[in-house]
Structure 1
């Protein structure tokens, strides 16, 4: 299991009794206030290792998940993370990547999140409603979903549609501010 960043508190090396008293007075002015007089040191993160994700195995997984998905009929989503990113939960400390799979005629549930996403259409044809705007896509197209815009994806082809996306969710997860919201189609 990955560990969070190891923090080393160096305050004790510079804090005298006189400074402690002033800090205590400041902290007592509010019940939810803590003074940090010296930024702590952090240990360097583990090295992120190169990796390859074999598409044929991912495709097998996506098809199995879409066949049996009671939450979003005909849809599957998989994301990838590297345990060495620790709390970032991404493939790198700032980015996460994954695939979305849509059977013919299926669509994802409307949602929004504060991460931005860049999509590559690996296979298929369809459209996305992004912030109320219809964006049509097909094989090889790239489209962007800006942060906080409600959106969903629809497969209009007779075959499966597969979208590959990269997001900045690793960065937002590290900052502790990653958010997801379900939306209604009226809000998209």
Structure 2
């Protein structure tokens, strides 16, 4: 079949105008734009947000805008290929660096997009999710799923910063994004109950065997335990093989949120890893270490606190440098792609 499809210029202008008056357009002039051969058309570009460059501006935001005027004091990481005004890291992933200062409270609310918080720096912060108060320490992952009440606070000293990751671009595109404000939460459970209840892989509360599996039984994933698990796994994984762990629902083994997936990877010192080319878009946040990534021919150096965008169908290589391992947090849209049957690896 020929790929030289007809264009709008081939059609009589009056015919095109008549169609437009009916809110109708011909497909064939735009067919290759929406169904290209080979790989999808992509506007997302490989890009690195340098935490060292952004941090001073985030602290300045704390001086310029009190929390009462911000509700959530966030600098959004916007992919330049998608347009800064669209507030997208990839077409499915919103990212923001959020700052909270000692004594501040980000008020209680809930919203239709699902979110996670991944702590970048600081101590003394907490997030309360549906009455469960979760401490926030560097590298911790905390879920705030769609529809669950959540608020943030700071009981320590110094700034606390975390990376927000939401499925906001997709929910907004469906015209389904909204928020509801609520009263301050009453903490009704022991602090960090979800983590202490699901302390060890392979063990769940016995009562859970006789009830419907919980949608979100585990809200907080402490980095100190994930890091140790990665170190242990590295001793059992051969050279060149990925040291990579997924965050999952402990009662079902499935992804912990329905649209976005989360995982942690260790890249051993001096090691280069080349994951399969995937249909999913993703972002990488550097927890520890430094290195270099090559993404579709673009070379990006990275270090602690940096965040990197990876387009769909990208060819990727990562290398840890500096004589020490690197630890990286991943966000991707593979769970949604699996659900709708389009996920692929090449």
- The answer, yes or no, to whether TM exceeds 0.5 is yes
Matches within 5 A, 1:33-182: 43-44=33-34, 46-72=42-68, 76-82=73-79, 84-85=81-82, 89-125=87-123, 126-182=125-181
Q: SS of the residue aligned with 1:67? A: helix
Q: Cα RMSD over matched residues? A: 3.1
Distance 2:127 2:27 in 1: 45
In the superposition, the TM-score normalised over structure 1's length comes to 0.69
CA displacement, residues 11-53 of structure 1 (integer Å, 9 cap, x when unaligned)? xxxxxxxxxxxxxxxxxxxxxxxxx9x9997633542111111
Q: For 1:176 and 1:82, locate their aligned partners in 2 and report how far apart those are by CA, in whole Å.
A: 21
The unaligned stretches of length 5 or more in structure 2 are: 1-7, 9-23, 35-40, 188-346
- SS of alignment partner, residue 170 of structure 2: helix
CA deviations over 1:121-176 (Å, ceiling 9, x no partner) = 11122211111221122122111111111211112221110111211101112212
SS of 2:68's equivalent in the other structure is coil
Gaps of 5+ in 1: 1-7, 9-35
CA shift, 1:59, in A, is 1.2
Q: Which has the higher relative contact order, 1 or 2, with Cα contacts under 8 A spaced 6 or more apart?
A: 1
TM-score normalized by structure 2? 0.39
Q: Report how many aligned residue pairs link the two structures.
A: 154
| Cα shift at 1:84 | 4.0
